[in-house]
Structure 1
Amino acid sequence: MNYQGDFLKRGRKSCRYPHCIVWTPIPILSWVLPFIGHMGICTSSGVIRDFAGSYFVSEDNMGFGRPTKYWRLDVDKVCGNGAATWDQAVHDASEEYKCRLHNLCLDNCHSHVAMALNLMRYDNSTSWNMVNLCVLSFIHGKHVR
């Protein structure tokens, strides 16, 4: 069984990317600075959560359209109970960001994803931030076909 191939086929058809960080360009801004875009994090079932604006975390409806890139993370690098811990961290970060004002430079969609990764202690780290997420997703992200 080709798990990676099955994952890609499933993702393209249903727009589900379990245990992934997803990215989509922001018109004009991403054309000028291609490493800048809109980011979300997916639950273990592939539901996308993204901080789409002040006091609003969307579910399966990214602020700037469907994902164009995804970065699949390893659920085994989550401290705790794998998928359950992952989903709880995504939920808790989303609940926190429903109470926050969006700030393009200081507290944005990348910060929301970073909080989720910090809460789950992904890769045994609590140092996730919008800068390292931007760089790592640019390097490790794969294009959706």
Structure 2
Amino acid sequence: MRRIQWIVAAALAALTACGGATSPLGGGGDGGGGGGASPVGHVTVGNIFFRSAHNGSQNPAVDTIAAGESVTWTWNAAGSHTVQSTGVPPEIFRNSVVMAGANDTYTVTFRNPGTYSYDCAIHGSAMTGTIVVQ
């Protein structure tokens, strides 16, 4: 069992070294924390939680923003996590690598009103959140 954990950890570390993030298909975004609108929403990514900096909600973290505004997820400690939209259609936004370093960020600009659910691909339903865009 430990050997499998080590192999998974090594693979995640290799992916992390690749860097970058995908642009969302419908929501817009830059994936790197720079450029675009200044983030209004801010979500902290912890050991096994997403927490809204706006209202303190956690798993699910819920943030409400206006169309055209951004949300930034910031990792608060070392630990492997991702941010990916869930629901229909899938993958409106998703960072392309496993983020593992403290202070790593991922930013998405939401251009269209709607409710966008997300989770961590590694922890699934243990780490969830929702962005409501008005």
Higher strand share: 2
Which of the pair has the greater relative contact order for Cα pairs under 8 Å at 6+ separation?
A: 2
Higher helix share: 1
